[in-house]
Amino acid sequence: MAQQPTTLADAISGAEWIMDGHGPRNVQVLKEALEQVDVSQASDMYGRGEVIERFERKMAELLGKESAVFFPSGTMAQQIALRIWCDRRDLPKVAYHPLSHLELHEQDGLKKLHHITPLLLADKDRLITLEDIKALQEDISCLLLELPQREIGGQLPPFGELEAISAYCRENGIRLHLDGARLLEILPYYEKTAAEVCALFDSVYVSFYKGIGGVAGAILAGDKDFTQEAVVWKRRHGGDLISLYPYIISADYYYEKYGGRMARYYEYAKELAALYNGCEAVKTLPEVPVSNMFHVHIAHPKEQVEPLLIELTEETGVAIAYYVNAYDDQTSSYEVSLGERFGTIPKDKLAATFQRLNEKLKALGRG
């Protein structure tokens, strides 16, 4: 007999269905993108050449901006955007959410490399509002808004509030930057085009390996004089690689393949969140998702939830979670982000999995 899996990763590797994403992050993702490409197509060369310039023009058009620059990463693109806006005002101060990617996941690059001070707006567990910005005690060069706010489950402000924030920033000389890592993912909820959302912002970053499912890479877009400066900083950061085409080709390929299906993934998220919210001791954040993502909170400690999820995966063949975090001593949490895979799970299998999850959680609740 096979040994019992001891980790969630083990259980997932044996699962027949996985809830998250489009598929495994493996070499096939790149190979598939390269299949339809003429192999004699020339590499980009340090930011120049047809493969990069064509994609940059295409993305500038999508985002309704004058110009766009392809970057190896969003970390690099966003630090540079903030640096440019700070240099323009000669004021190295910006504001963003306390759970911004720049604050949590970048080893303080903004502070260590650019000597920019971020003011943290709003409480950790809620969105930034216009009132937060009005209440700022210090002047700032740039406000960064992340849509959706990933670390609180992918929440979004009403579009009207975004418009008010944008107007306020313009009146007060504050540049507005969009962390739109998941920009396409929010368009179905807002019922807006990318360009309509981006029109509220002076600069925009978009990622190609999240909902879009590419290998890596990012676009930074804005006015021409902004992107020209961004290209110089990209060189300084060591991001102006001789060849970025592996990322560009896959970004373009998966943008075409999945970029138009975000409404479907948004519907999947609402369907799945409803299944979760029907289980004892579970709530999703937001309760009704506004994109393809949400967070799951389970009112039991990680030490109990993790083995429960391993068992559930083994019993049903359906992996509903990749990992579990200890949200606090009494609560577990994890993120769900939906793509093609969710649609492949048979509905009866899905219903049975959540019925089983509910039974297990009820048993846990009874102690």
| Residue ranges in contact with a second copy by CB under 8 A | 24-31, 34, 37-43, 45, 71-77, 79, 105-109, 112-114, 209, 215-216, 232-233, 235-247, 249
**Alpha carbon distance 89, 282 (integer Å):** 47
Q: Check if the beta carbon of residue 85 is closer than 8 Å to that of residue 202.
A: yes
Q: Which structure tokens are listed for 89?
A: 């005002």
Report the nearest approach of a second copy to the CB of residue 30 (Å). 6
Report the nearest approach of a second copy to the CB of residue 66 (Å). 22
Q: Which is nearer to a second copy, 208 or 266 (CB)?
A: 208
Q: Which is nearer to a second copy, 256 or 303 (CB)?
A: 256
Report the nearest approach of a second copy to the CB of residue 268 (Å). 23
Report the nearest approach of a second copy to the CB of residue 87 (Å). 10
Residues 191, 195, 198: CA angle, nearest 5 degrees: 100
Q: Which is nearer to a second copy, 9 or 363 (CB)?
A: 9
Q: Check if the beta carbon of residue 72 is closer than 8 Å to that of residue 239.
A: yes
Q: Which is nearer to a second copy, 126 or 236 (CB)?
A: 236
Q: Which is nearer to a second copy, 40 or 137 (CB)?
A: 40
Q: Which is nearer to a second copy, 232 or 351 (CB)?
A: 232
Query: What one-character DSSP code corresponds to residue 338?
Result: B
**Alpha carbon distance 267, 338 (integer Å):** 10
Q: Which is nearer to a second copy, 237 or 300 (CB)?
A: 237
Pairing relationship of beta strands 67-71 and 117-120 according to DSSP bridges = unpaired
Report the nearest approach of a second copy to the CB of residue 175 (Å). 20
Q: Check if the beta carbon of residue 178 is closer than 8 Å to that of residue 210.
A: no
Q: Check if the beta carbon of residue 337 is closer than 8 Å to that of residue 21.
A: yes
Report the nearest approach of a second copy to the CB of residue 245 (Å). 7
Q: Check if the beta carbon of residue 214 is closer than 8 Å to that of residue 254.
A: yes
**Torsion (CA) 160, 161, 167, 173 in degrees, nearest 10:** -160
Report the nearest approach of a second copy to the CB of residue 78 (Å). 8
Task: Give 185's contacts (C-beta < 8 A, 6+ positions apart).
Answer: 148, 154, 210, 211, 262, 265, 266, 291, 292, 293
Q: Which is nearer to a second copy, 229 or 306 (CB)?
A: 229
Q: Which is nearer to a second copy, 110 or 279 (CB)?
A: 110
The whole-angstrom distance between residue 196's C-alpha and the CA centroid of its chain comes to 19
Q: Which is nearer to a second copy, 238 or 367 (CB)?
A: 238
Report the nearest approach of a second copy to the CB of residue 253 (Å). 12
**Alpha carbon distance 115, 79 (integer Å):** 11
Report the nearest approach of a second copy to the CB of residue 305 (Å). 23
Radius of gyration of the chain (CA): 21
Report the nearest approach of a second copy to the CB of residue 167 (Å). 31
Handedness of CA 172, 174, 175, 177 (dihedral sign): negative
**Alpha carbon distance 204, 112 (integer Å):** 23
**Alpha carbon distance 83, 86 (integer Å):** 5
